[in-house]
Amino acid sequence: MEAIARKPSYSLTTSVPLENPSRIIPYSSSQTPTQQPQHQFPTYLENPDVSPMARILCEILTKTPPQGLENALSSTLIKPTPEIVEEVLNLSFRSPSAAVVFFRWAGMIQKHSASCWNLMVDLLGKNGLFESMWDVIRSMKQEGVLSMAAFVSAFRGYCSLGKFNEAVMAFDLMERYGIQADVVAVNSLLSAICRKDNETTKALEFFERIKTRIPPDADSYGILLEGWEKEGNMAKAKKTFGEMVIQVGWSPQNVAAYNAFLTTLVRGSQVDEAIKFLEIMKGKNCSPGLKFFSDALDTLIELNDKAHVVVLWDMMASSRLLPNLRMFNSIIALLCDNNDIDGAFGFLDKMVFYGVFPDSLTYNTIFQCLIKNKKVHEAGGFFFEMVKNEWSPTHSNCAAAIKMFFDGYDPQMAGEIWTYMFRNHVLPLEESSNAFLIGLCDMGRLTELRRLAEKMLDRNIGIKESTMAKLKHAFNKDGRSTTRDAYDSLIRKWKSS
């Protein structure tokens, strides 16, 4: 790494050698790029908001042979302002060689901004062009624009390609380039390592080596804890959390660390232990954020762990965190799955106190539970509350409700639902319509049945063959010739529809 750092070359911004010269080396001549998957890098073709001048320059970079690039760029007469250069570079990660030529060309016309230099470090690092990346860093130092941001990009470039040892060596070289290696730099490298799956141990190795020289802060521990969370490593998470409490203490600001630690426990089925830590945090005037409670509730709901869900919800409420609609809908669904209708109504009533209002999913989840549990009276009242609040029941809930109301000897309510569906175009109507016909059929209300069936056929609402068979049986059972004639008329109309 030191050899790379000292390697002489030429400046990116001028063809005149510098006192300590540095030169960009296009990867096509002496380097083999180790690139990220190309689809990770956006291009101007995928961005509808590209400015017209940037689009022209991007087209030249992607369509012009290397030897003709500079002439083609110059012929546009576009002044490469820092804003345009930054826009073009952001869209040129798939074309690093052309981006280098563009950067040189733009630098001969106008001085680059620090953000443009940093973008070049990022672009080259993510394409695995590390020799060229260091050339840029050396040029930045001589231009007086080198900052921590360039090294953060270098860390990310190395780590994205699994070159963790090289990233650590880049950290060790910072001070030689005049950049202080402080806790922000430490955290940047830890974060870059932990972005890769199952590499938190590598981050911990660096952390253990550096922590005696540069004291870590809460963010340092938070990054490691998020890594252990991603890996599901409870033992390491507990050890890291314990050290954090000793070294930096308790603080309401350490929400990210608390989120990660507690989530690791919950996902590792140590919910009771997570609740104990929540109680300790409460005593220290600390709390995780809404993200923890949301993630934990999702995990527990998936496990159908109703008891712990309610406990966590109460702890969240006592922390004065405001649950959102999705969280309310999730817990109401869990309670309904467990046939806890009273509990579901209780959470429905609580919503308004948190500034949250039920939606179609909320109402339909509870309505479905009432139907499933054959709560005839409650379902009728709830249906009217739904439509009063302008939330329509789903067509499947309507069909099930119509059947339930007929089974519960409330044909009037069944008719209310079908009429509502018909008037408000709750589609499709077929399932509910057939359920309504069968209900009338079972009750022997043949006159009403015939009138409704004809109305359905006139409006092209499909009547199933199995439904017609039941109608035939009911009409024949009546025995009167007028009734049989009525069915004959109906069956002819059905066949011709």
DSSP H helices, 78-163, are 82-90, 96-109, 114-126, 130-143, 148-160
**228 DSSP 8-state letter:** H
Whether the Cβ atoms of residue 140 and residue 22 lie closer than 8 Å to each other:
no
Residue with tokens 């890996």: 231
Q: What's the confidence (pLDDT) of residue 34?
A: 56
- Report the candidate in 193, 192, 155, 191 with the shortest Cα–Cα distance to residue 172: 155
Q: What's the confidence (pLDDT) of residue 292?
A: 96
Residue with tokens 């199995």: 466
Hey, is 252 helix, strand or coil? coil
Whether the Cβ atoms of residue 238 and residue 272 lie closer than 8 Å to each other:
no
DSSP H helices, 11-68, are 27-30, 52-63
The two tokens of residue 265 are 């426990």
CA angle 137, 141, 145 (to 5 degrees): 95
The answer to whether the predicted template modeling score (pTM) of the entire model surpasses 0.85 is no
Which residues have CB under 8 Å from 142's CB, separation 6+? Answer: 11, 18, 19, 20, 22
Helix axes 446-458, 465-478, angle to 10 degrees: 150
pLDDT tens, position by position, 147-182: 999 999 999 999 999 999 999 999 999 999 999 999
List average pLDDT for each run of 10 residues in the chain, which is 497 residues long. Answer: 34 32 38 56 82 92 91 93 95 93 94 95 95 96 95 96 96 95 97 96 97 96 97 97 96 96 96 96 94 95 93 91 94 96 95 94 97 96 95 95 94 93 90 92 87 88 90 79 76 82
Greatest alpha-carbon span in the chain: 113
Sign of the dihedral defined by the CA atoms of residues 38, 39, 41, 47, in that order: positive
Q: What's the confidence (pLDDT) of residue 311?
A: 94
Cα–Cα distance for residue pair 9/23, rounded to 1 Å: 4
Q: What is the DSSP string of 455-468?
A: HHHHTT----HHHH
AA letter at 475 = F
Reported in sequence order, the residue ranges of 299-356 that DSSP labels E, i.e. its strands, are none
Q: What's the confidence (pLDDT) of residue 446?
A: 86
DSSP H helices, 319-394, are 325-337, 341-350, 360-372, 376-388
Residue with tokens 């609402």: 461
The two tokens of residue 282 are 């409460």
Cα–Cα distance for residue pair 108/192, rounded to 1 Å: 33
